[in-house]
Amino acid sequence: MAGNRTGAVGAHKARVMNRFDLTKRLVGRLKHDEAVIGGIGNANFDLWESGQRPQNFYMLGSMGLAIPIALGTAIAQPQRHVIALEGDGSLLMQLGCLATVAEQAPRNLTIVLWDNGIYQITGGQPTASATTTDLVAIARGAGIARSAWAADEEDFERLFTAALGEGGPTLVAARIDDKPAVGTTERDPVQIRERFMRGLGVRK
Ligand SMILES: Cc1ncc(C[n+]2csc(CCOP(=O)(O)OP(=O)(O)O)c2C)c(N)n1
């Protein structure tokens, strides 16, 4: 990440944005069959509604697995860029994965954090990141030096595009509002897995 891309703003100066809007901007930047792993709930609901791609995987049921799945995919297919979309509550449940990402250091992995400060899908209970915890600081402390808050929508697009181009691992964090996801992913885990494996060229 060049110049001020490593952290122009802290968590509480970042503009509060909308997850579906940012997801559409992110999908619009994909040009090379990148794999995208949507975390449980809203992260994958908005990914689903942004246009289904065979390279998308939609995690159902388990919090905190988008990043571990993306890490495994990135290691298995080093020529393909892999993106994990994860909520703050889910990441807080699986913080250790940041250390593993930093230690493995796959250049083709980008983590996008949707931080709304709540466990939205279960009723909006506040997470620690609403008040005391800065997940970008934690990611940097884990060893992911290229971790930054997006100051606004344009900054988010710049950070994400740089992550695709410059090599990672990278974490781009966005503060987001409490608007619900715009749709719901089709809940068929076998279909989701098979389509993803075909999309990655590992299943006929
Ligand atoms: C181990 C575990 N505990 C609780 C739940 C219930 N649960 C599902 S999604 C969720 C909240 C996820 O929060 P976050 O990742 O921040 O996403 P948001 O809902 O805010 O979009 C909770 C508590 C679960 N699926 N698994």
The DSSP line for 43-91 is: HHHHHHHT---TTEEE--S-TT-HHHHHHHHHHH-TTS-EEEEEEHHHH
* Residues of the chain above pLDDT 90, percent: 90
pLDDT one-digit tens code per residue, 73-112: 999 999 999 999 999 999 999 999 999 999 999 999 999 9
Work out the mean pLDDT of the chain and round it to a whole number. Answer: 94
Please give the structure tokens belonging to residue 43: 């992260």
Is the Cβ–Cβ distance between 163 and 154 less than 8 Å? Answer: no
* The pLDDT of residue 180: 93
* The pLDDT of residue 4: 37
1 confidence band (pLDDT: 50, 70, 90): very low
Q: In the structure, which protein residues have their CB atom closer than 6 angstroms to any atom of ligand 1?
A: 40-42, 61, 63, 87-90, 116, 118-122
Instruction: Report how far residue 104's alpha carbon sits from residue 74's, in angstroms, rounded to the nearest whole number.
Output: 10
25 confidence band (pLDDT: 50, 70, 90): very high
- Ligand 1 atom nearest to 89, measured from its CA: 16
- Ligand 1 atom nearest to 181, measured from its CA: 21
* The pLDDT of residue 167: 87
